Copies of this chain bind each other. A is one copy, B any other.
Amino acid sequence: MAHDERRLQVLRAIVQDYVSTNDPVGSKALAARHDLGVSSATIRNDMAVLEEEGYITQPHTSAGRVPTDKGYRFFVDKLSQVKPLSIAERRAIERFLDGALDLDDVLGRTVRLLAQLTRNVAVIQYPTLARSAVRHLEVVQLAGNRLLVVLITDTGRVEQRSVEVPPVTDVPPGTDPVADLRALLNSAFVGAKLVEASVTAVELLETAPPHLRGLVAAVSATLVETLVEPGEDRLLVGGTANLTRGGALDFPGSLRPLLEALEEQVVVLRLMGEVAPSHVLVSIGEENEHEGLTGASLVSVGYGSVGGTGDLALGGLGIVGPTRMDYAGNMAAVRAVARYVGQLLAES
């Protein structure tokens, strides 16, 4: 029907106008700013229907209309057109990210870049341990019966854990248990995916020389814990200052809960969940379960790719902002940055 078609255009126009002006948009203004070919009266009728269907709402009688979460959702799914990045933006991405050396550096630059590009809070997850492989393991003796185990993954991530180990007995003369342990661990784990580590650990324990078994058991246990627990994934957050853009308008319930949610990284990590590099995930307002985020939207996507299918990501990155955001632009920015980061990491 021609009706439906136009109604959707009205919805699109409302979203666009509201996002750019931050004022509830009325039928008259809409007719003036977009040539929809109909009068404001007709638009009013359409708006009434849209409101009845729950896509828009009015803050108070005789104010303009504002999109609801459902309205944004529809806009994102059906109405928004891919918005190619400007050349300046593409350039900014390259200029910003080229020259990064370490993983830390790459992620740090990325988060700043995304925050600047989208003028929102940017988040990036460290490459998830579960999908990484072991490049090297280092064991250093600490005071007492504690060992420091340093894990270096093929993505360049470095994690350390302090491990309490049982005392070693029956050491064959002329050998160094720590050095032996190091050699043993490396020969067993290097090159293995971390998901397989628990299996490897069991095998290793059986074949290890008796006097090292205590050490191997303790260290393996820590390694396995470290990666089974998804809470161990780390998140980098940047651009929180952007939350204050637009005064207190954007986040009515004050931004305290939002800041809390961002500090409790788990919340955001769970939301980003299983993002794939191929598909930008948008989570709008009330769709977010955590209460601190119910007034915000998250746009995220996976970066890097693991395995042949390319549908597993090394980690996720994205932005957090008011529901009233430029979804099309932000989706494009997030996707472009993720792609570039993926390339960068693949090179090293």
A256 at the interface (CB under 8 A from B): yes
A101 at the interface (CB under 8 A from B): yes
Whole-angstrom distance from the CB of A77 to the nearest CB of chain B? 33
Q: How far is the CA of A219 from the CA of B313 in the complex (A)?
A: 32
Tell me the dominant secondary structure on chain A's binding face.
mixed
Encode contact with B along A237-271: 1 for CB under 8 Å, 0 otherwise.
01111011101100000111101100100000000
Q: How far is the CA of A241 from the CA of B260 in the complex (A)?
A: 6
Q: How far is the CA of A104 from the CA of B160 in the complex (A)?
A: 9
Q: How far is the CA of A338 from the CA of B57 in the complex (A)?
A: 53
In the complex, identify which listed stretch (A23-31, A61-69, A137-145, A191-199) lies at the interface while the others stay far away: A137-145
Q: How far is the CA of A143 from the CA of B344 in the complex (A)?
A: 13
Given contacts A138-B138, A142-B348, A152-B140, contact A161 B238 (CB under 8 A): no
Q: How far is the CA of A75 from the CA of B121 in the complex (A)?
A: 38
A254, B263: Cβ atoms under 8 Å?
no
B102, A162: Cβ atoms under 8 Å?
yes
| Residues of chain B lying within 8 A (CB to CB) of residue A245 | 256
A156, B150: Cβ atoms under 8 Å?
no
Beta-carbon contacts under 8 Å, A77-134 to B: 101-102, 104
A241 contact from B136, B256, B347, Cβ within 8 A = B256
A146 at the interface (CB under 8 A from B): yes
A348 contact from B104, B143, B239, B244, Cβ within 8 A = B143
Residue of B nearest to A100 (CB): B162
A contact residues, total (Cβ < 8 Å): 37
Q: How far is the CA of A282 from the CA of B245 in the complex (A)?
A: 30
Most chain B beta carbons < 10 A, residue from A104, A161, A240, A247: A240
| Residues of chain B lying within 8 A (CB to CB) of residue A70 | none
Given contacts A104-B160, A136-B138, A140-B152, contact A256 B244 (CB under 8 A): yes
Encode contact with B along A198-238: 1 for CB under 8 Å, 0 otherwise.
00000000000000000000000000000000000000001
A152 contact from B104, B135, B148, B164, Cβ within 8 A = B148
A101, B259: Cβ atoms under 8 Å?
no
A135-B140, A247-B254, A248-B248 known; 16 other A-B pairs, CB under 8 Å?
A: A101-B164, A104-B160, A143-B348, A148-B152, A150-B150, A152-B160, A156-B160, A158-B158, A158-B160, A162-B348, A238-B263, A240-B259, A241-B257, A241-B259, A241-B260, A244-B259
**Interface residues, chain A, with chain B CB atoms under 8 Å away:** 101-102, 104, 135-136, 138, 140, 142-143, 146, 148, 150, 152, 156, 158, 160-162, 164, 238-241, 243-245, 247-248, 254-257, 259-260, 263, 347-348
In the assembled complex, 8 residue pairs joining A and B whose CB atoms fall closer than 8 Å, in A order, are A135-B140, A138-B138, A142-B348, A152-B160, A162-B348, A238-B263, A241-B257, A243-B259
